Amino acid sequence: MDFLDKSIEKYAESLSDSESELLAEIHKYTLSKVHQPRMISGHLQGRFLSFVSRMVRPQNILEIGTYTGYSALCLAEGLHKKGRLITIDRDKSLKEKVSNFFNKSIFKNQIEQKLGNAIDIIPNLKFKFDLIFIDADKKNYKNYFDSVLPKLNKGGVIIVDNVLWSGKVTQIKKFNDDKIAKYMDEFNRYVNDFEGISKLILPVRDGLTLIIKNE
């Protein structure tokens, strides 16, 4: 299922800020060389992540799910001059290539890659974050949310990707064999019932949830 009508997507891309040369290189590499290329944030979502980051002006950013590094570089565009971004992934096969991409960027000294299970890594991080992006294995979204919320500053923002899962969350009975659709629906309802936060689901690409920590 396409995320958006292709003509609408092309129109929006043509009248929005362009990708940088490095982001375009990562996009091309991902589409041609990497398993499940639909996982990349892509042009429009990447610009959205950049805009949110530039509005928040975070001192510290946490990303769960590095993949090929596209979203990390978009988020880094809003980093405070002395800020840092920590990105976590457990896929060893992409780490070297992604490191090379990061080293080509102006943010190379502000990005730190961590390899391993985010659930194990997050509790040992010694500082709090202003912006967090969750885009990893969907089964653990609730666990990631519960782990990062105490690490988020008051007024901080969490962005969660793939919350609409190609629209299947709206027809759980029809797609009852799709476990991820079920995981995402359960996560969405969990967040909706959670106190002390503001939340908004946006039908951007495969669905993004914005969460603000109020307390």
Structural domains in the chain, CATH included, are 6-213 (3.40.50.150)
For range 181-208, the mean pLDDT: 95
**Mean pLDDT for the stretch of residues 74-78:** 98
- What pLDDT, in 10s, does the model give residues 36-70? 877 788 899 999 999 999 999 999 999 999 999 99
47 contacts 16 by C-beta, under 8 angstroms? yes
d(C-alpha 44, C-alpha 205), whole Å: 8
pLDDT value of position 6: 85
At residue 1, does pLDDT exceed 60?
A: no
